[in-house]
A and B are shown apart, each in its own frame.
Chain A
């Protein structure tokens, strides 16, 4: 009887020891690790497209197709976003009714800072995008906010992106569990299938970049936001990051979320962070 108890006791102890030894590995596997995620994300695209220069991924479909690239390079001599750029520059410099300007709301007067957005606001505990910061600036100065999907917001962000052209994306994730949770939430949103078409963002932009979807060439997810905002021939106009997310959702037959909802802010945070080091190329032009 004693022998049986001893065997039982030692097996229970053995099981406990095994549990203690393996549990840290389980926790480690589930730990949010943005650095490792970004490295894996970039390596995936670098290996999938070994002939594409790394900094060229920010040019979306043009990095995938030589013919389109040549056409785009010719178009860049008289780029279709030029009107938006000019009006954005003028809007940016025009004082609000109280005499202040956008420059008063941003570090370095708002010039050459696009690559630092979105950022995690530790006071609010949430991600703040450039579009959101611009509207908060307007509201703080007694002005009505702009629509997140229309021309004025696209013009303003076009000008701010232009002043950052060539600067490497430099989005920070502070050592704050809420920031890590926002990154993870953005990642989840990116990979989650939705809509009647049962597509995730990754279905097109990870699994199929360079492939045709009807008449279009799909852009790689890596660096996809570095070119925002964009002039799209399909829209016959400019579009913000918000507009891009909303239309992507609609195309999969999912009801879009409200612009600047937590999910959209978080997916922008995720996609921008994994593109760290790649240059800002916005404003962009797309078919």
Chain B
């Protein structure tokens, strides 16, 4: 029993997914997804300034070789772009609730 506990812990640690650093490929995939969402928002004429600045921050981090930060920023930019698409879609009808009648 005394010997099996450290062994079990060792086994658990070896099976746990190790946190690995993001690669350039991870960044490229995250950036492409964010850029596509951003373009869709711009096409709806509802781009947010924060989407643009966060995308730029992702690129800057990648240019500096910091892919962890670049991937995080790209994912944030994608979330912002998707939120702006949701806003534009829901506002197609929702604006009427604000109208003075």
- Other than the known A254-B46, A255-B49, what 5 A-B pairs have Cβ atoms closer than 8 Å? A188-B95, A191-B98, A193-B95, A200-B95, A253-B50
**B49–A195 CB distance below 8 A:** yes
Q: How far is the CB of A110 from chain B (nearest CB, A)?
A: 33
B21 within 8 Å of A (CB atoms): no
Per-position binary interface string of chain A over residues 246-277, scored 1 when its CB falls under 8 Å from any chain B CB and 0 otherwise: 00001001110100000100000000000000
Per-position binary interface string of chain B over residues 61-77, scored 1 when its CB falls under 8 Å from any chain A CB and 0 otherwise: 00000000000000000
Q: How far is the CB of A85 from chain B (nearest CB, A)?
A: 33
Q: How far is the CB of B23 from chain A (nearest CB, A)?
A: 30
Instruction: State whether A254 and B49 are in contact (beta carbons under 8 Å apart), knowing that A193-B87, A198-B87 are contacts in the complex.
Output: yes
Q: Say which size band chain A's interface belongs to.
A: 20 to 34
Q: How far is A196 from B101 in the complex, measured between Cα atoms in Å? A: 27
A13 within 8 Å of B (CB atoms): no
- 5 smallest beta-carbon distances between A and B, as pairs: A255-B47, A191-B95, A192-B95, A191-B98, A44-B100
Q: Looking at the complex, which one of B45, B80, B99 makes contact with A191 (CB distance below 8 Å)?
A: B99
Q: Say which size band chain B's interface belongs to.
A: 20 to 34
Residues of chain B within 8 A (CB-CB) of A191 are 95-96, 98-99
Q: How far is A188 from B97 in the complex, measured between Cα atoms in Å? A: 11
28 chain-A/chain-B pairs, Cβ below 8 angstroms: A40-B100, A41-B100, A187-B99, A191-B95, A191-B96, A191-B99, A192-B91, A192-B95, A193-B91, A193-B95, A194-B46, A194-B87, A194-B88, A195-B48, A195-B49, A196-B49, A196-B80, A198-B87, A200-B95, A200-B98, A202-B98, A206-B98, A250-B49, A253-B49, A254-B48, A255-B48, A255-B49, A257-B45
Q: How far is the CB of A256 from chain B (nearest CB, A)?
A: 9
Chain B binding surface, main DSSP class: helix
B94 within 8 Å of A (CB atoms): yes
Interface hits, A176-220 → B, CB 8 Å: 187-188, 191-196, 198, 200, 202-203, 206
B29 within 8 Å of A (CB atoms): no
Q: How far is A203 from B97 in the complex, measured between Cα atoms in Å? A: 12
Residues of chain A within 8 A (CB-CB) of B22 are none
**B96–A40 CB distance below 8 A:** no
B32 within 8 Å of A (CB atoms): no
Per-position binary interface string of chain B over residues 23-57, scored 1 when its CB falls under 8 Å from any chain A CB and 0 otherwise: 00000000000000000001001111110100000
Q: How far is the CB of A43 from chain B (nearest CB, A)?
A: 8
**B101–A193 CB distance below 8 A:** no
Residues of chain B within 8 A (CB-CB) of A37 are 100
Q: How far is the CB of B38 from chain A (nearest CB, A)?
A: 10
Q: How far is A196 from B49 in the complex, measured between Cα atoms in Å? A: 8
Q: How far is A254 from B48 in the complex, measured between Cα atoms in Å? A: 4
Q: How far is A200 from B101 in the complex, measured between Cα atoms in Å? A: 17
Instruction: State whether A194 and B49 are in contact (beta carbons under 8 Å apart), knowing that A41-B100, A187-B99, A202-B98 are contacts in the complex.
Output: no
Residues of chain A within 8 A (CB-CB) of B47 are 254-255
Q: How far is A191 from B46 in the complex, measured between Cα atoms in Å? A: 14
Q: For residue B50, which residue of chain A has the nearest CB?
A: A196
Instruction: State whether A263 and B98 are in contact (beta carbons under 8 Å apart), knowing that A194-B87, A196-B50, A196-B80 are contacts in the complex.
Output: no
Question: In this complex, which of A187, A188, A192 has the most chain B Cβ atoms within 10 angstroms of its Cβ?
Answer: A192
Residues of chain B within 8 A (CB-CB) of A44 are 100
**B52–A255 CB distance below 8 A:** yes
Q: For residue B99, which residue of chain A has the nearest CB?
A: A191
Residues of chain B within 8 A (CB-CB) of A255 are 42, 47-49, 52
Instruction: State whether A206 and B100 are in contact (beta carbons under 8 Å apart), knowing that A196-B80, A198-B87, A263-B45 are contacts in the complex.
Output: yes
